[in-house]
């Protein structure tokens, strides 16, 4: 699946919620006549990814089957984009550690704390 990442943002989810990343990206696959604007929500843990069409979200469409996309198909690229963003920005927060298999498929993803004042793993 070909994607073009536009923006990556880390969210703490309050003082006690589970942190997550939001990734704005374009789906460049040939199944759409033009790039589709998408939003990925990525939590800690393999398979904990939700993907939505951002144009449909903008008009309030959240129904399953209408604005539901297979997060597992986007997960490897989204987690790689998060890792690259965090490495480039030097941002301190929960960062994914990605292990990619020979075929490019994700074989494991784990988050670790990289904050200077916080050393415990991010909660799930």
Task: Look at residue 23 and tell me whether its pLDDT is greater than 70.
Answer: yes
Q: Whole-angstrom Cα distance, residue 67 to residue 83?
A: 26
- Please state the pTM of the whole predicted model: 0.71
Q: Are 9 and 78 in contact, with CB atoms under 8 Å apart?
A: no
Task: Look at residue 31 and tell me whether its pLDDT is greater than 90.
Answer: no
Work out the percent of the chain whose per-residue pLDDT is above 70.
Answer: 73
Q: Whole-angstrom Cα distance, residue 94 to residue 114?
A: 6
DSSP at 35: P
Q: How confident is the model at residue 113 (pLDDT cuts 50, 70, 90)?
A: very low
DSSP for 42-103?
Answer: EESSTT-EEEEEHHHHHTT---TTTS-B-HHHHHHHHHHHHHHHHHHH---SEEEEEEE-TT
């Amino acid at each position: 699946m070909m994607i073009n990442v536009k923006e990556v943002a880390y969210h703490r989810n309050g003082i006690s919620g589970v942190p997550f990343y939001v990734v704005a990206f374009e789906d460049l696959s040939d199944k759409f006549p033009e790039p589709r604007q998408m939003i990925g929500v990525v939590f800690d843990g393999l398979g904990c990814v939700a993907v939505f069409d951002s144009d449909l979200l903008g008009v309030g469409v959240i129904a399953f089957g209408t604005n539901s996309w297979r997060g597992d198909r986007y997960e490897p690229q989204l987690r790689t984009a998060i890792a690259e963003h965090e490495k480039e920005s030097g941002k301190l927060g929960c960062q994914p550690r990605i292990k990619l298999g020979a075929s490019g498929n994700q074989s494991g993803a784990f988050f670790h704390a990289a904050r200077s004042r916080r050393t415990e793993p991010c909660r799930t």
